[in-house]
Amino acid sequence: MIQQSPAKTKRFLKAINKAAMQKCSDIAKQIEDTTNEEMMRAEEEARKEGHLKIEAAKAKIEAQAKMKVALHEKQKKKEIYSKRYAYQQEVFACAKEELIAFTAGEAYKEYLQKRLDEFSDKTGNHLIFHIRANDTIAQNAIQTAFPNAAVETDPSIEIGSFKVVDCDNSVLIDESLDSGLENQLDWFLLNSNLKVDV
């Protein structure tokens, strides 16, 4: 057996220890680097995931806020439309009452006479006039202006004046005050300053 000197053995052990220590140090460094990389990757993923969750939460809150605003606006518009409709109904009910009162006076007779005079040149010989039930003023005026015309009552005429069917030309002419009032609705909505802007 070969004997080594204690100095050589000591150097040999020292070299082995040094190599082992270097290997341990390298492994520790590699573990630390790998751990740091994994930690950084995990932190980055957590940041991304957290950012996505924050963005999703913000988008959800914004969508809910927009929906609340839209519902509020819809409700306000509905209330305003309802009020505007009530005003419109009130105004047109008053106008209807005034027109009905008008049909009871002397001015109504003059109005009818003027309207009938305008028809004398524009219509055929076979006419059927439609009037409100019990409208004797209209009936008398029509029979005076057009003695050969037929006169019938029409339940759709509640206020007054007349509709006339020109059988020769197959034309219906609506001169009723009811239609005249109804035709004022668009004008009223445009000029009443009851616009709905929310």
CATH of residue 75: 3.30.2320
The answer, yes or no, to whether residue 198 has pLDDT greater than 60, is: no
Q: Is residue 96 part of a domain?
A: yes
Give the model confidence (pLDDT) of 52-111 as tens digits.
888 888 888 888 888 888 888 888 888 888 887 888 888 888 989 999 999 998 999 999
- Residue partners of 169: CB distance under 8 A and separation at least 6: 123, 124
Q: Is residue 53 part of a domain?
A: yes
Q: Is residue 135 part of a domain?
A: yes
Mean pLDDT of 36-63: 84
Residue 92: which domain range? Answer: 48-198
Q: Is residue 36 part of a domain?
A: no
pLDDT band for position 141 (50/70/90)? very high
E-strand ranges in the chain read: 127-131, 150-153, 162-166, 171-174
Give the model confidence (pLDDT) of 145-172 as tens digits.
999 899 999 999 999 999 999 887 788 8
Q: Is residue 32 part of a domain?
A: no
pLDDT of residue 170: 80
- As for how many domains the chain has, the answer is 1
CA-CA distances (angstroms) from residue 195 to 44, 74, 82, 83, 87? 56, 15, 12, 11, 12
Question: pTM to 2 decimals?
Answer: 0.59
Burial of 88 (0-12, 13-18, 19+ CB in 10 A): middle
Q: Is residue 147 part of a domain?
A: yes
Mean pLDDT of 169-193: 86
Q: Is residue 42 part of a domain?
A: no
Q: Is residue 24 part of a domain?
A: no
